Amino acid sequence: MKQVSSKNRQAVKLFAVFILLTIVFATAGYLLFNYQKKSITNEKYDELAAISQLKVNQIINWRNERLGDGNAIFYNKSFAHYIKQYLSGVNRNQNYKEAFNWLTIIRKNYGYALFMVTDTNLKPAISLIPTDHLQINGIQTAKEAIKKKTPILSDLHFTSEMGAHLDMAIPLYSSPETAEDLVGLLFLRINASQFLFPLIQTWPTPSKSSETMLVRREGDSIAFLNELHYRKNTALHLKLPITDTIHPSVKAISGITGITKGVDYRGVEVLADIKKVPGTSWYIIAKVDANEIYHPVQLLSYGIFSFTALFVLIAALIIYLIWKRQQYKLNLEKQALTRHFDYIVKYANDIVLLADEKLNVVECNDSALRNYGYTRQELIGKSLADLRSEATRRQLQETIKEIHQKNSALYETVHQRKDGTTFQVEFNSRLIEIEKKTYYQSIGRDLTERKLAEEKLKKSEEQLKLKLDTILNPDVDISNIELKNVIAVDELQSILNDLAPVTNMVTAILDLKGNIIESAGWQNICKNFHRMNPESAKNCTESDLHLSGKLKPGEFKEYHCKNNLWDIVTPLYIGDKLFGNIFTGQFFYDDDVVDENLFINQAKKYGFNEEDYMREFRQIPRFNREKVMLFMSFLIKFTSLISRLSLSNIQLAKEISERKLAEGALKESEEKYRSLFNEMIEGFALHELFVTPRAFPLIIAFC
C-alpha cells in the first residue's frame, strides 16, 4: 500500500508538471504571438506612413518643378518682348513664328499638353487650346497670377476635350524684376494622366491590394482626383458624401491624419495613412486591404499554434517516459550515487570521495580529479591508502577506528597526487549506510593556500612583534628608533590627504635619510619630472637634507631648492632627539619675478619634454606670504602635537614593559617559595618579632 501510494504521488507530480509545462508553453506562445503581431502591424504602419509621405514629397517636388518652369519663363525678357511686339502689331508674322516655335519646344521638352498666350484682357492670341475664350477656372487662375505677379498652378479640373488637367498661368512683364508693364499671360496645360496620376498610383513595394488616392472636398462631397485601381473613369467623377465617416477619404477632410482604419469605396475594410499635401486642397491616402496586412499575422498564428502543440506533445511524451522509468526501483549503486550527488551539490568546491567497506573509491567529484591529477577511470577503484603520502598511510587505520567509534572524524593529513607531489588536506569523514551496506564518505579541502596564508601571517606577526619589542624594550635608546616605527603612518597620511585639497599646499614628512614617510598634494612638476630624473631628484634630496639638524623645535626656514622652487621646513623632534622634518613648498610667492627661460633651460638640461614640462610649470601655484606664514604656524603646532603624542606613546610603552617585567619577577619568586614550601618534609614556623611600647619583645609565629 505504501509503494502504491508513493507511485500515485509521483504520477500526480508528473501530471502537475505536464499541466505547468502546458501553461508555460501556451503562455509563451500567446506572448510571442502578441509580440510578433504588434511588430508586424507596426512595421506595416510604418511602411504605409513612409509611402504616403513619399507620395506627398513626390507631388510637392512635381509642383515645384512646374512652378520652376513658370519662373524661368516669367523672367525670360526675350519671350515677353516677342509677345509684346506681336500684340502691338509690330512684325507680327516674325514675332508669332518666334514665340510659337519657342513654346512648341517648351511643350515637347517639358511635357506640357497645350499652351495659350492671351493679351492683358485675357483674350487668346496664340493658342493650341481649341477655344476663343477662357473658362471660369482659367480666368480665376489668371486673375490670381496677375494679382500676385507670379506664376500660379491651378487646381485639378476636368474638361470633355482634355479630361483631368491643371493649368499654369504665367504673367508676362517687360520688366519682370519689378513686375511692371504687363504684356500678356501664358497658359501651360498639364495632362494629369500623363505624369501626376502615374506618380500617385505607383507603389514602391510588392502588394496586391495597395492603392494611393488623391482627394479633396467639393461642397458636401469628397471628390476623387485620380484614377483608381478597382474602378474606371473616377478622376473628378467619383464622389462620396461627407456623411460616410467610415471612409478614410471622409476622415481626411475632417482633419484626421496618420494611420486609421476604415472602409474604402469598394466596401472593403482597409488600413490607411492620411496626409495633407502642403500648398493644395489635396489629401493623399495610402491604403492596403486589412486582409493583406494581417495575412502574415494569421500565418504566424498558425505556426505558433503548431509549435506550441508540438512542444506540448513532446513534453507529454518526455514526462510519460520519465514516469515509466521511475516505476522501477533504483539499484544499490544508483541510490549511493543519488545520495552522494546531493552531498556534492552542497560541497562542490571541496574534494568528495565515496569508498566502500574495503576502502576502495567508488565515486568522486571533479574537484577530487583536479586535486589528485587522475582521470575518473584511474581514480575509481583506488584504495584510500594509495592517495596518502607514505608517511601518513599507517595513520589510516587509526582514522578508520575513530570514524567507527564516533561515526565521523575531522582530521588533517597529507595526500599524494598522481605526479608524486604532496599536499596538506583537511578531511571530514563519516559513515553512511545504504541497504545495510557501509560506505565512507569523505569531504576534504586543500590546505595549501591556507597554510601559506598562515605562514605569511606568522611572519607578519613576527615582524610586528619585532617592531613593538623595539619600542617596548625598557633598555632601548630613543635615539636608535626610526621615525616610521614611532608615528602612526596610516592616520597621518589620511589627515594630510584631507588637508591638501583644502589648502592647495604640499605637505610631506621625511626622515633624516631623506626618505619620504608621508606626502600629499604634490605638484605634477615635482612628482612627474623632478623626482623622476636621477639628477634632478638628487637636487631634491640634497635640498631636503641641507637643513636637517640646523633648526630648533618651533622654528622653520624657507629656501629655494636646487630646482628653483620655494620650500619651507620645520623640524620634528621627539623628546630632545631630531627624528625628521615636515616640509611644504613647490610654489612661488605672488610677488616673485619668475624667469621662464630658467625653467626652459632646466627642461633641456635634464632631458624633459619641454612642452609637457612648461605646461606643468604654468600650473605651479602662487601664494601670498601671509597665507604661507599662517600655514607654517599650523604645521609647527601640528609637528608639536605629533612630537608629544609619539613621546608619550614611547614612555607609556616602556612603563608597561617595566611593569610586566616586575610582575614576572614577583610571580617567579612566588612560585619559587611555593615550590620550597610544598617539598619540605619537616614542619616550619614563620616568626615575626614585635616590640611593645614598654620595650617588651613579643614573638608571633605563623605555621
Q: pLDDT tens for residues 427-464? A: 999 998 877 788 999 999 888 888 888 887 777 556 55
Residue 666 within a domain: no
Q: How many CB atoms lie within 10 A of CB 625?
A: 11
- Which residue is associated with the grid cell 604532496? 422
Residue 684 within a domain: no
> Is 140 in the same domain as 260?
no
| Domain finish residue from 422, 446, 470 | 446
Residue 368 within a domain: yes
3-class secondary structure, 609: coil
Distances (CA, A) of 25 to 30, 36, 654: 8, 16, 79
> Is 37 in the same domain as 69?
yes
Q: What is the pLDDT of residue 520?
A: 87
pLDDT at 346 over 50: no
What is the mean predicted confidence (pLDDT) over 184-200? 89
3-class secondary structure, 433: strand
> Is 172 in the same domain as 116?
yes
Q: What is the H or E stretch that residue 459 is in? A: helix 448-472
> Is 226 in the same domain as 124?
no
Average pLDDT, the chain: 82
- Residues forming a β-bridge with 520: 507
- Residues forming a β-bridge with 388: 415
Q: Which of 286-300, 420-434, 558-572, 641-655 has the lowest mean pLDDT?
A: 641-655
What grid cell was written down for 230?
478597382
Pick from 244, 195, 191: nearest CA to 222: 244
> Is 113 in the same domain as 222?
no
Q: Which of 297-301, 356-360, 480-484, 562-566 has the lowest mean pLDDT?
A: 480-484
> Is 324 in the same domain as 288?
no
> Is 185 in the same domain as 271?
no
Q: Give the residue ranges of DSSP H helices in 355-508.
A: 366-372, 376-379, 396-406, 448-472, 489-503
Q: What is the pLDDT of residue 678?
A: 57
Based on the number of CB atoms within 10 Å of its own CB, is 286 exposed (0-12), middle (13-18) or buried (19 or more)? buried
Residue 31 within a domain: yes
3-class secondary structure, 154: coil
Q: What is the pLDDT of residue 137?
A: 83
> Is 307 in the same domain as 391?
no
Q: Are 271 and 44 in contact (CB under 8 A)?
A: yes
DSSP state, 505? -
3-class secondary structure, 625: helix
- Residues forming a β-bridge with 212: 286
pLDDT at 667 over 70: yes
| Domain finish residue from 269, 292, 315 | 292
Higher pLDDT, 475 or 493: 493
User: How many domains does the structure of the chain reveal?
Assistant: 4
What CA–CA distance (Å, rounded) separates 29 from 301?
A: 9
Residue 682 within a domain: no
| Domain finish residue from 238, 270, 292 | 292
pLDDT at 479 over 90: no
Q: Are 250 and 16 in contact (CB under 8 A)?
A: no
> Is 531 in the same domain as 593?
yes
Residue 168 within a domain: yes
- Which residue is associated with the grid cell 508555460? 24
What CA–CA distance (Å, rounded) separates 215 from 59?
A: 13
What's the CA angle centered on 544, arms 538 and 547, to 5 degrees?
A: 135
Q: pLDDT-derived band of residue 469, with 50, 70 and 90 as boundaries?
A: low
Range of the domain at 546: 479-653
What CA–CA distance (Å, rounded) separates 211 from 204?
A: 11
pLDDT tens, position by position, 128-138: 877 666 788 88
What's the CA angle centered on 322, arms 321 and 326, to 5 degrees?
A: 120
Bridge-based pairing of strands 557-560 and 686-691 is: unpaired
What CA–CA distance (Å, rounded) separates 487 from 491?
A: 9
Sign of CA dihedral 476, 479, 483, 486: positive
What CA–CA distance (Å, rounded) separates 434 from 645?
A: 69
Contacts for 452 with CB less than 8 Å, ≥ 6 apart: none
Based on the number of CB atoms within 10 Å of its own CB, is 662 exposed (0-12), middle (13-18) or buried (19 or more)? exposed
What CA–CA distance (Å, rounded) separates 674 from 206?
A: 114
- Residues forming a β-bridge with 516: 510
Q: Are 540 and 561 in contact (CB under 8 A)?
A: yes
pLDDT tens, position by position, 628-661: 898 889 888 888 888 787 777 666 766 776 777 7
> Is 198 in the same domain as 209?
no
143-153: string of b/e by CB count within 10 Å (b at 16+)? eebbeeebbbb
> At residue 268, what are phi and psi to the nearest 5 degrees?
-105, 140
Q: pLDDT-derived band of residue 489, with 50, 70 and 90 as boundaries?
A: confident
Numbers of helices and strands, H then E, in the chain: 18, 25
The residue ranges of DSSP E strands in 128-206, in sequence order, are: 152-153, 157-159, 163-175, 180-191
Q: Which of 412-421, 487-496, 514-523 has the lowest mean pLDDT?
A: 487-496
Q: Which amino acid is at 410?
A: L
3-class secondary structure, 247: coil
Please give the share of the chain, as a percent, with pLDDT higher than 90. 22
What grid cell was written down for 49?
506612413
Q: pLDDT-derived band of residue 703, with 50, 70 and 90 as boundaries?
A: very low
Q: pLDDT-derived band of residue 554, with 50, 70 and 90 as boundaries?
A: confident
Q: What is the CATH number of the domain that holds 226?
A: 3.30.450
Q: What is the CATH number of the domain that holds 195?
A: 3.30.450.20
Q: What is the pLDDT of residue 6?
A: 53
What CA–CA distance (Å, rounded) separates 341 from 79?
A: 101
Q: What is the pLDDT of residue 172?
A: 93
Distances (CA, A) of 630 to 505, 510, 582, 625: 12, 21, 15, 9
Contacts for 312 with CB less than 8 Å, ≥ 6 apart: 21, 22, 25, 26
What CA–CA distance (Å, rounded) separates 307 from 299?
A: 12
> At residue 423, what are phi and psi to the nearest 5 degrees?
-155, 150
pLDDT at 354 over 80: yes
Residue 456 within a domain: no
> At residue 327, what are phi and psi to the nearest 5 degrees?
-75, -20
What's the CA angle centered on 262, arms 257 and 263, to 5 degrees?
A: 135
> Is 529 in the same domain as 631?
yes
pLDDT tens, position by position, 45-76: 888 899 999 999 999 999 999 999 999 999 99
Q: pLDDT-derived band of residue 274, with 50, 70 and 90 as boundaries?
A: very high
What CA–CA distance (Å, rounded) separates 97 from 78?
A: 14
pLDDT at 167 over 60: yes
> Is 142 in the same domain as 217?
no
Residue 465 within a domain: no
Q: Are 387 and 421 in contact (CB under 8 A)?
A: no
What CA–CA distance (Å, rounded) separates 424 from 490?
A: 37
- Residues forming a β-bridge with 115: 188
